[in-house]
Structure formats: C-alpha cells, structure tokens
Amino acid sequence: MPVSRWPASTIFAAAVLRLVAPGCASAQISIAPTIGVYVPTAELYKAATSGQTFKQEVSITVGGRLGINFGQRVGIEGTVVYAPSKLKFSATGSSSSTSANILTGSGRAFVELLPRTNALSLQVNGGVGIVRRSGTAYQGDPSNTDMGGVVGATLRIRLGRLLHLQLHAEDFVYKAQYAPSTTGSGFTVVNKQLNDVLESLGIRPIAAVGERLTEASTDIDAAGLYVLPGFVDVHVHGAGGSPDPATMARFLPSTGVTSFLPTLATSSPEDTLVFVEAVASLGAAPGAEVLGSHLEGPFLSHERRGAQPREHLRAPDGPEIERLLAAAKGSLRRITVAPELPGARSAVERLLQNGVQVSLGHSACSYEQALEAAGWGASSVTHTYNAMTPFHHRQPGLVGAALACDRLVAELIADGVHVHQAAALALIRARAPQGVAVVTDGLPALGLPPGVYDWLGRRIVSDGTVARLEDGTLAGSATPMLQVLRNLVDWGVPLEHAARMVSRGGAILAGAADCKGAITEGFDADLVLMDEKLRLVSTYCRGQLAFSSVP
C-alpha cells in the first residue's frame, strides 16, 4: 500500500541533463532547460525502515534553471523541477501502486568548491525553497506543501560545451507547512521558539526525532516496544460508562486515544445547543484532549436514520445553524449531513465559512449527489457502508463515492461487526491508508463488559463488541480503538498503515493535522507504547503520562 512521506524532512534528488542554451555557456547569465530522472529518497527511506520493498517506475523530470555567476566560484540561481512519479510498494501478502507528483522550486546562492572550468565540479548552495506534492501517495494529507530555508549540494559532470550531467540534493533546515482551509488552514512553523511557548502552556511538543538526540528532562524506556502516534477518535458518543466529555477524557487514554471529538447523535434543538456549549466551555484537563465537538445530526435522512431518534430528525435550518455556531465559539469541528435534504447546500456552505467540516452520512443520496456535495466542500463520509444505500454496480450511491472520490476521507468502523472484514479491506485498498480514518462510533458501553447501558435516555444492550437498541438495531460500538487496531493487523493490514488510520486520519478530520497524528518535530507528544503482542503499555498525552499498565 502507498507509504506516507517521511515526516522528519523533505529531500529532493534528481539526476539532470543540463542543456545550456547556445551563446550562454561562458556568459555570466545562463538559461538552461533540464530533463532528468527523479529519485524519491524520502519514500525509499520510509519503505526501507518499514520492511517494505520499493520499486519506482521511470520518472522523467522537466524543469529549468536561471543562473548568474559572479566570477568562477560564486553565483545565484533559481530552479524549477516537476517530477510525476509512479511508485510501487510490496509487503508480505500485499502490493500496491501509487503516484507521487513533486513540484519543487528554489532560489539559492552557491559556491563552487572546484573551478567551473574543470570537467567535474562540486557546488554547495543555500537559500529558500518550496515543495508541492500531489497524487494518491499524499491523498488526505493536508500538509502537502513545505517551504522554508534549504541547503544542498550539486555534483556536475561536463559532457560537452552545451551538455552537463547534474546530480542535485537538498533538504529543508527551517520549514513551514501549509494546510488547506478544510483541514485547519494556515502555516505551521517548526522551530524552537514555538516549542518553548507551547511548553510554557503545559503542552510538550516533540522537539526532535532521530537517532542522535540531546538530553531531555524525562527519559522513557521503550526498549522492545512499538511507539505509535496517539490515536485520534473523531466519532465517539461515550466511553467508560459515560457520555460526559470530561469523563471520557480520563478513560480514553486506557484505550490508546490521546485526543477526540465528543459526538452527539440527533437530539432536540435545545439539547444540541446545550451539548455544543458544554464542549466549548471545557478547559484544559489531564487525559485525552478534547479537540472540539462533532454533531452526528440532526440534518439526516429518515430513510437511513439507523439508530438516530426519528422524532428529532429535521431538515437544515439556517437560524438553528447560526445559534449553534454562536454557542460553539469556534469549537464545532464536524457535522454529519445528508446532502439530499432541502437546504443542504446552503447549510454546508455556511458551516464551511465558519471552519466546520461537513461529513456525508445517514443518507440515501446517489453517487452523483455525493460528488456534488464534495464540490460544495464536504470532506468526509460518516461510518462508510453503515446508514447509507448499499453499493450496487449500477447505482454506487454514497458508498461508491467513499470508494472512488479522493476529495472525501472515508470513516471506517473496524469492530468486525459494523463492517465485514472483506468490505473493510476493499475500502482500505481502494483508498489507501491516506484516504481512511478509522473511528470507534463508541457509546458509553465502550471498553466495558457486556451489559445494559443508558444512551441519551435509551436502553442499549452491549455484547462487549457492539451495542444495539432493544429492537436489535445497531446503535454503535463497544470496541475500543486499541482493539480496532489489533483487528486491522489481524486482517492483514501492516501495522504502520493501521496506526496511520487510527491517528493521522482522525487528526485531519478534527482540523488538527498540524499537531496531531504523527511523531515528528513540533507536533504534540501524544504517544502510545505497545509490546510485540500489541498490548498497551503506556499512553502519553501532550508529553504527560496519562495511562500505564505497569504499577
């Protein structure tokens, strides 16, 4: 399956045939079109460290260079290179292909270490650069543009007066990332000054990743353990016996969850407003971080309501939306909407204007209606396969959009009951880990023994895996995210991919892609330590120990 880009840095290397324009070869100013081969060193590193084999189809690059020399050894240059790549990965029992298109540009000052008159020259350079990524390898990853200071080196072999063979590599030394508005817009600058400010607020970001690290105030012995990014659950109604977000925050670290969106099912206008206000008023507290709220309703289809209370379902209403936005004070992160309902488009557009992501779900919409809603700005599908028209090869519906539309991140409940293993694997293979966000859809029974529990004043019966209404209707899950991860691995999903789907996918949907869901510099130190049997050893939330199985 496709592999995410190496998060620690961005390296570009290309072998380039440099054709110098006639009449410019010995001038102070040179203009050169370039053609060559792109080598994705970051993906090579990631594949090698994850036990995968890696193959790249021939990737021809095109670009150009404008250079100005001041004497024989010093000058400035600007370069642009476009590299459309086809990458193939294989691991035990699976293989996949993906695309990774790279557009890189930089402006640099350079110093020639060997005179330019030699057949062989070596140049070191530094300046500013930008790298833009697209293609299925980066699908669902909002941080697909890096910019900042770069340093590099160029080895050039003169094959003739007008023809050079050039190998260039560069890396960022000071980097900012840009994320689109639907996933938390703005720039994230990775630097020590920002880390100091965050730590003064009690948030401990990751300062460095690698083999050679400086001394730290706290040492964690992780010998023989897996260290994974903290799990992010963006669809969870309750846990540990309660729907109360503060109680959930204390309980969820015992399941590996380090941040979450408390979720409310369809309720009356008054109860919905109370819930949104309560989440907005929560202050910082130990345990899993509350990233905001998720409303699963009330603007849902009667036909595909599932366990949603029929009496509270309603069409999108402008005044109600305005009241919710005012009460949320910016904390409403997601809302699930059936796009076929009257007034859905204006509601979606208004929500997006206020930074609220819209997910499509509990819907009888057609495939075409789902794509239209994606065009409005909807960015995900709520619990794919569940509470929507079943897939048909001539009428694919919302399931078809979840399988085929790159603009929609697909939620997946992987408890083994809501979705059959084969259907789950089909979704993952169709969309790759970057296009899937695994959620629990947990109810208050999550993580507790089988029994009868209360949910929004309704009796639910849990068998320890799922919870049902008394009439047998599936209401939600009782399977914690930790077991969900194990399920995925048992089904043959590589651990690295499973870990991404329970962490990075949720971070993107929560609008926290700039600080959650990855182990990299500047991100919150949300970590899960597990042994070789995937048993939870400890959970760290923002650098603080939140759960330990060791006395």
Tell me the catalytic residues.
441
Terminal-to-terminal C-alpha distance of the chain: 39
**Nearest of 169, 158, 162, 164 to residue 108 by alpha carbon:** 169
What is the secondary structure of 235-246 as a DSSP string?
A: EES-BTTB--HH
**Nearest of 355, 309, 348 to residue 332 by alpha carbon:** 355
Residue 397's region, left for phi above 0, alpha for psi from -120 to 50, else beta, is: left
By the 8 A CB rule, do 308 and 336 touch?
Answer: no
What is the secondary structure of 333-398 as a DSSP string?
A: EEEEE-TTSTTHHHHHHHHHHTT-EEEE-SB---HHHHHHHHHHT--EESSTTTTBPPP-SS--HH
140-149 burial string, b = 16+ CB within 10 Å, else e?
Answer: bbbbbbbbbe
Q: In whole angstroms, what is the distance from residue 273 CA to residue 278 CA?
A: 9
Question: For 382-480, where are the alpha helices, taking DSSP H only?
Answer: 397-404, 421-431
Residue 445 CB neighbours (<10 A): 31
Which tokens belong to 191? 């630097």
Return phi, psi of residue 108, to 5°.
-140, 150
Q: In whole angstroms, what is the distance from residue 127 CA to residue 168 CA?
A: 14
By the 8 A CB rule, do 261 and 288 touch?
Answer: no
Residues 6+ apart with CB under 8 A from 217: none
**Nearest of 46, 151, 154, 152 to residue 100 by alpha carbon:** 46
How many residues are given for the chain? Answer: 551
- What's the 3-state SS for 181-237? HHHCCEEEECCHHHHHHHHHCCCCECCCCCCCCCCCCCCCCCCCCEEEECEEEEEEC
Q: Return the half-sphere exposure (C-beta side, CA atoms, 13 A cut-off) of residue 178.
A: 10
Q: In whole angstroms, what is the distance from residue 130 CA to residue 142 CA?
A: 15
